[in-house]
Structure 1
Amino acid sequence: MEPERRGLRKGGDSKESESWKRHIILQLKSRDSKQKSRFQDLIRSYVNLLERCSQKAFITKGILSATRPLLLPSSEDALSSLKTSTGELAYKVVELQQQIKIKEALLDKQHARLSEMENELGVVQLEQGRLQGSVAEVQERNQLLKSEYDALLEYYQNTDTVYRKEKLYGSELLEDMIRWKQQAAARMNSRNERRVRAREAGLHKKLEVAANKKLDIDEAPQSASLPSSPLSKRSESGERLERSHGRLFRSASATSPRILNSLRDLFERKRRGNSVCSLEEDLYTPLGICLAARVPAKAIYSVDAHEQGINAVRFSPRSALLATGGTDRVIKIWDIKAGVLQNRGTLDGSNEGITSIEFDSTGTRILAASYDKSALFWRLDDCVPKFTLTGHSRKVTAARFKCNLKQVVTGSADRTVKIWDLHRAACIQTIEVLSYCSDVVCSEYYIISGHYDRKIRFWDSRAASCTQEVPLQGRVTSLDISPNHRELLSCSRDECLQLVDLRMSNTRMVFRAEGFKCGSDSTKAIFSPDGCYLAAGSADGAVYVWNVSSGELETRLSDMHRCSITAVAWSMSGEYVVSVDKSRRAILWSDV
């Protein structure tokens, strides 16, 4: 018990400041007092028994020494009884000692467990201190983050306020701009109407003079075509001028210089204004004439026309201008003078590369397709697009004027062909064409599209339905329609060109040549302006020209391009051919 007290006293002295230790000490003391009170009676009884035993032993020793000779038998009985009582007491003492040892072992175990708990408590206290430090750090970081969040929230609120003000200001500016544009458009329309009325009056007088004018010609033209005019009337002598839109003059009698000069005097005039709405002017513009195209024989001029590769090239119907478009996002206009390409200007506005170019029949407007999912419309007297046709979800691969010049057809990689109204600059019809569309051509009622699924499809634009499919052996890269609108030329990745008879809708002739190979999925092949020849560029940098009548290769123009040719163009006069390639070079070819 004494070691236990010392242990408790030592523990109490070292940890008096901690309440839980004091509580344990108090419990131990209470248990000690309870157990000690139980053993006090045993200890006192044991001491009394020892004293009595010692007294009895002393008395017995004296009695035995005094009365040994006389009372031997009786003394033996007393001794035996004394031994009996002493043994019982000793047995009880032994039992009590064993119980004391057991209690001391239990107490030692309790002390060991108490020390273990103290050690664990120390470790837990250290961990608690560490966690409290971590909590303090986290709280400090949270406070910093909260301060930053409050600052960002305040900045956002201020920025949002500024944004709303700017948005309101922008909407006001847009409304003002729309109002100004409407007023400017009204003024422009008024001026155009006055010009048209004045032109109609002048044209009416000229038509009357021309109708009364007598011409001496040996053979009268049987089908001379004049541009259709809503203003032409019957002449006083009853003669009537025939009108049509889609054909070039081809008969020798119709191309008499005296007739042509008379017609030119009637219809040539200086174009004024920038409005795209006065489409009536186009009806009176003379068309280009080609009696016979000449097969080019040599390169007469070479120029790096763009900063990057060139994708498209096109001559104007009057053969005076050439347009090229490339991946540098611009269209460049060129004059051909004395066998030299002279840069006349640049048309900007596209956000990505140009994929195709087409002039209208007047040669004053340009339509281009672009990689930026749109088609753009320019007038040559303005370098900024008049408007942009947007609505496709992927790049626009082709854009063409319809025969009436009031509508435009575009083909796209998004597997659609769209028809647009130029008056409203809006899509009026969308045709699902089932496959990637690489090129389109148009007639009055039909749209013809070429596709990556190796098919040419004929669409009725009035019903948006496919009327016929012509299968090929390779991906279609380009389409072109003959000047007489009777034959369709296709170029495909099976390294050949094919003619399709539009009257029979079947393949008429296949054109191949050793070494000819399509360099890309957008390689362009074309008719000559008289329809007698075909021209296409090859991956080996050569221009191949075939004769339509014989089907044989007419010539191969090489040694000028360094890489694959993407497109070729043939002037309406039949005198020049221009080829362009991916390395930004343009080559002018001629027969002299």
Structure 2
Amino acid sequence: MAGLPAPDLRVSPPAPQPWRRHIVLQLRDRDQNQRTGFQDLIRIYSRLLEKTSLTKGILGRAGRCPSGPQSSLQDQNLQLRKTTGELAYQVLELQQQIKIKEAAVQDQQDRLVQEEVRRAGALAARQALQERVDQVQGRNRVLKADYDALLDLQTGAEARLREEKLRGGGLVEDMVHLKKEAAARMNTRNERRSRFREATLQKELRRAARSSPARSSPARSSAPISPSSAPSSRSSSPKNQDEELAGRGHTRLFRSSSATSPRLFTSIRGLFGRRRGHSVCSLEETLSFPVGVCVSARVPARALQVLEAHQQGINAVRFSCSSDLLATGGTDRVIKVWELRAGQLTHRATLDGSREGVSCVEFDPPGQRILAGSFDKSALLWRLGDSTPKVTLTGHSRKVTAARFTGSAHQVVTGSADRTVRLWDLQRNACVQQLLVSSYVSDLVCSDSVFISGHFDCRIRVWDSRLSGCVQELPAPGKVTSLDLSSDHRRLLSCCRDDSLQLVDLRGRSQDRVCFRADGFKCGSDSNKAVISPDGCYLAAGSADASVYIWNVSNGNLETRLPDGHSSPVVAVSWSLSGENVVSVDKSRWAVLWSDL
């Protein structure tokens, strides 16, 4: 077998085909691998055959030789047999190794086939994903084009909106100017007519005075002329009566005309009760509104009513100027309006529109509008008869913590956690002034063009809208949670997180400060609200121990403590302007009406 040449498998294909060439290369590799593994075996087997042939020859010659060396031949034979057995054992071991290597090669080939299948699947998946990527990119390009087109449309619409707003503002100004001119012309015309009527009345009265002695008797002519002595032809007309009385009041010809005469009041109402021309003032501004006047505030002694005012905690409470309406705002995103009659609060209206909790509420002086700050970064304005807000003021970047009406009927000021104070014009629904502050704004109070803000940096700042800046800073003993201004605008109350109230006298240059504390009083939150009584004699604040504390301003001592009514920390207190009632609210949605009765 050693002399046999290896079979030549390199057959030239009739035509060069890739798959045939691949098969031929695989057969060559297989032949080379298998031949390399069997070369040692073939070489050993060839040597074994040679030794066997040699042994046979030696044995043949030994048969022909004498028996002398027979023993040595047997030893050689045994040695050869032993060698043959060892070689046979090696052959078996080599065959076993060949089988193991063939199994390993077969396993590798199976794994190679599996990997080829997985590779083909991965290529197909990659192709599908690439197609999806192309589709998504195509859709993105279409969407990008649509977005650019919409952005252009929005930019154009905003530009047109700004132009229309400017145009509308100009039209409003022109309209107001025209109305003012028309009102001025109508007032001038009415004054001319009034002067003409007065002159005519004076002439007629002089003529009547000259002609009356000739028609009357001497006894009657000496008597004073009363207001009822006018000719019957003129007294039959109400218009002429008013004109005659107006002329008498103007010239004071007759002493019998009393200032308390009903006819004189009728004539005055006739002259000034009519509406002149087209006035630019609204009816709401010209009408008088009731205001509760407090002569002496009453210190509450017991709870008249305890009611569940909201579904969640209450953050703010405020009486109207007439003391008959109460507004409460809570974390349930609504404001509830209550009517106070006969010592009981009854629900009147619910105002919604805030997207988050309400932080503060306030009535305007006529009591027809309610302003509120919200945690949704806006301030909202309702009319009392509407449940939805009329105006929404947006611009703050964090929650609005304070909102107040200024001295003007068309301006409000707001403070926010974004460290800004903003002045708003309600006629344009726009911010007209923004003031940057170095600390969190917790509360605000206003007096004409001046407003005061409290902050978490233990400072109270006084602002003047005419100067567009801070004009004074006042220190506070702790973080300021609320501010309140006395009815005469002379004293400022601040509630601080160091569990104290500070009353500042704004009249003097030194600005005297008085601190009020009490055993057990604890400021329960960063928005705890304290108030001054309408007569300025008492201070009231809620505590974390579910009580209401009231101090006497004159001696600085605790006047009373109201422990009953609440079961959770009291966060806000409001004192009616009439001084008769106090309402406190807590974090567990309860409101308590207090009185001295």
Q: TM-score w.r.t. structure 2 length?
A: 0.63
State the alpha-carbon separation in 1 of the partners of residues 335 and 596 from structure 2: 27
C-alpha offsets along residues 271-313 of structure 1, whole Å, 9 cap, x if unaligned? xxxxxx9667335433514232432121111110000111100
1:105-144 mapped onto 2 (5 Å cutoff): 121-139=105-123, 141-142=125-126
Which among 323, 348, 352 is matched to residue 352 of structure 2? Answer: 348
- Residues 550 and 116 from structure 1, CA distance in 2 versus in 1: closer, same or farther, beyond 3 angstroms? same
Q: Could you say which residue in structure 2 is the equivalent of 1:413? A: 417
The answer to whether the aligner puts 1:370 opposite 2:374 as a matched pair is: yes
State the alpha-carbon separation in 2 of the partners of residues 496 and 547 from structure 1: 14
Which among 6, 9, 21 is matched to residue 30 of structure 2? Answer: 21
1:8-47 mapped onto 2 (5 Å cutoff): 18-22=27-31
Q: Unpaired runs of 5+ in structure 2?
A: 9-22, 39-93, 199-248, 252-268, 275-279
Identical counterparts, % of pairs: 47
Q: Could you say which residue in structure 2 is the equivalent of 1:58? A: none
C-alpha offsets along residues 484-523 of structure 1, whole Å, 9 cap, x if unaligned? 1111000111111111112436342111222211111111
State the alpha-carbon separation in 2 of the partners of residues 540 and 128 from structure 1: 80
- Residues 457 and 187 from structure 1, CA distance in 2 versus in 1: closer, same or farther, beyond 3 angstroms? closer
* Secondary structure at the counterpart of residue 506 of structure 1: coil
- Confirm or deny: 8 A CA contact 2:294 2:577 kept in the other structure: no
State the alpha-carbon separation in 1 of the partners of residues 460 and 169 from structure 2: 41
- Confirm or deny: 8 A CA contact 1:480 1:489 kept in the other structure: yes
- Confirm or deny: 8 A CA contact 2:407 2:447 kept in the other structure: yes
1:299-310 mapped onto 2 (5 Å cutoff): 299-310=303-314
Which among 564, 583, 588 is matched to residue 578 of structure 1? Answer: 583
Instruction: Give the AA of the match of 2:452.
Output: I
- Residues 359 and 28 from structure 1, CA distance in 2 versus in 1: closer, same or farther, beyond 3 angstroms? closer
Q: Could you say which residue in structure 2 is the equivalent of 1:294? A: 297
* Secondary structure at the counterpart of residue 521 of structure 2: coil
Which among 344, 358, 361 is matched to residue 357 of structure 1? Answer: 361
State the alpha-carbon separation in 1 of the partners of residues 136 and 518 from structure 2: 70
C-alpha offsets along residues 325-358 of structure 1, whole Å, 9 cap, x if unaligned? 0010000001111111110010000011111001
Which among 433, 438, 454 is matched to residue 437 of structure 2? Answer: 433
State the alpha-carbon separation in 2 of the partners of residues 499 and 408 from structure 1: 25
Q: Could you say which residue in structure 2 is the equivalent of 1:389? A: 393
Instruction: Give the AA of the match of 1:572.
Output: L
State the alpha-carbon separation in 2 of the partners of residues 422 and 548 from structure 1: 37
Displacement after TM superposition at 1:546 (Å): 1.7
- Confirm or deny: 8 A CA contact 2:485 2:492 kept in the other structure: yes
C-alpha offsets along residues 215-271 of structure 1, whole Å, 9 cap, x if unaligned? xxxxxxxxxxxxxxxxxxxxx979xxxxxxxxxxxxxxxxxxxxxxxxx999999xx
- Residues 267 and 504 from structure 1, CA distance in 2 versus in 1: closer, same or farther, beyond 3 angstroms? farther
1:472-551 mapped onto 2 (5 Å cutoff): 472=477, 474-502=478-506, 503-504=508-509, 506-551=511-556
The answer to whether the aligner puts 1:587 opposite 2:586 as a matched pair is: no
* Secondary structure at the counterpart of residue 312 of structure 2: coil
Instruction: Give the AA of the match of 2:118.
Output: S
Instruction: Give the AA of the match of 2:532.
Output: F
Instruction: Give the AA of the match of 1:21.
Output: R
C-alpha offsets along residues 160-184 of structure 1, whole Å, 9 cap, x if unaligned? 99999999999999999999999x9
State the alpha-carbon separation in 2 of the partners of residues 418 and 181 from structure 1: 21
State the alpha-carbon separation in 2 of the partners of residues 321 and 237 from structure 1: 44
Instruction: Give the AA of the match of 2:288.
Output: T
The answer to whether the aligner puts 1:556 opposite 2:561 as a matched pair is: yes
Instruction: Give the AA of the match of 2:540.
Output: A
Instruction: Give the AA of the match of 1:384.
Output: T
State the alpha-carbon separation in 1 of the partners of residues 566 and 482 from structure 2: 21
- Residues 535 and 452 from structure 1, CA distance in 2 versus in 1: closer, same or farther, beyond 3 angstroms? same
State the alpha-carbon separation in 1 of the partners of residues 325 and 181 from structure 2: 30
* Secondary structure at the counterpart of residue 582 of structure 2: strand
- Confirm or deny: 8 A CA contact 2:292 2:323 kept in the other structure: no
Displacement after TM superposition at 1:5 (Å): 4.9
Displacement after TM superposition at 1:190 (Å): 13
State the alpha-carbon separation in 1 of the partners of residues 525 and 272 from structure 2: 42
* Secondary structure at the counterpart of residue 20 of structure 1: helix
State the alpha-carbon separation in 2 of the partners of residues 488 and 266 from structure 1: 45
- Confirm or deny: 8 A CA contact 2:571 2:587 kept in the other structure: yes
The answer to whether the aligner puts 1:282 opposite 2:291 as a matched pair is: no
- Confirm or deny: 8 A CA contact 2:406 2:449 kept in the other structure: no
Which among 443, 447, 464 is matched to residue 443 of structure 1? Answer: 447
1:43-58 mapped onto 2 (5 Å cutoff): none
Q: Could you say which residue in structure 1 is the equivalent of 2:462? A: 458
- Confirm or deny: 8 A CA contact 2:476 2:496 kept in the other structure: no
* Secondary structure at the counterpart of residue 442 of structure 2: strand
* Secondary structure at the counterpart of residue 112 of structure 2: helix
The answer to whether the aligner puts 1:380 opposite 2:384 as a matched pair is: yes
State the alpha-carbon separation in 1 of the partners of residues 271 and 543 from structure 2: 44
- Residues 115 and 174 from structure 1, CA distance in 2 versus in 1: closer, same or farther, beyond 3 angstroms? same
- Residues 195 and 330 from structure 1, CA distance in 2 versus in 1: closer, same or farther, beyond 3 angstroms? farther
Displacement after TM superposition at 1:321 (Å): 0.8
- Confirm or deny: 8 A CA contact 1:498 1:507 kept in the other structure: no
Instruction: Give the AA of the match of 1:136.
Output: A
- Confirm or deny: 8 A CA contact 2:530 2:540 kept in the other structure: yes
- Confirm or deny: 8 A CA contact 2:435 2:468 kept in the other structure: no
Displacement after TM superposition at 1:203 (Å): 12
Instruction: Give the AA of the match of 2:549.
Output: Y
Displacement after TM superposition at 1:459 (Å): 2.1
Instruction: Give the AA of the match of 1:587.
Output: V
State the alpha-carbon separation in 2 of the partners of residues 278 and 115 from structure 1: 113
C-alpha offsets along residues 177-207 of structure 1, whole Å, 9 cap, x if unaligned? 999999x9999999999999999999999xx
State the alpha-carbon separation in 2 of the partners of residues 398 and 266 from structure 1: 45
State the alpha-carbon separation in 2 of the partners of residues 572 and 20 from structure 1: 109
Q: Could you say which residue in structure 2 is the equivalent of 1:247? A: none
Aligned Cα root-mean-square deviation (Å): 5.5
- Residues 201 and 281 from structure 1, CA distance in 2 versus in 1: closer, same or farther, beyond 3 angstroms? farther
- Residues 118 and 287 from structure 1, CA distance in 2 versus in 1: closer, same or farther, beyond 3 angstroms? same
Instruction: Give the AA of the match of 2:594.
Output: W
State the alpha-carbon separation in 2 of the partners of residues 453 and 5 from structure 1: 107
State the alpha-carbon separation in 2 of the partners of residues 406 and 465 from structure 1: 22
Greater Cα shift, 372-381 or 457-466? 457-466
Q: TM-score w.r.t. structure 1 length?
A: 0.64
Q: How many residues align?
A: 486
Q: Could you say which residue in structure 2 is the equivalent of 1:49? A: none
State the alpha-carbon separation in 1 of the partners of residues 270 and 488 from structure 2: 26
State the alpha-carbon separation in 2 of the partners of residues 198 and 545 from structure 1: 55
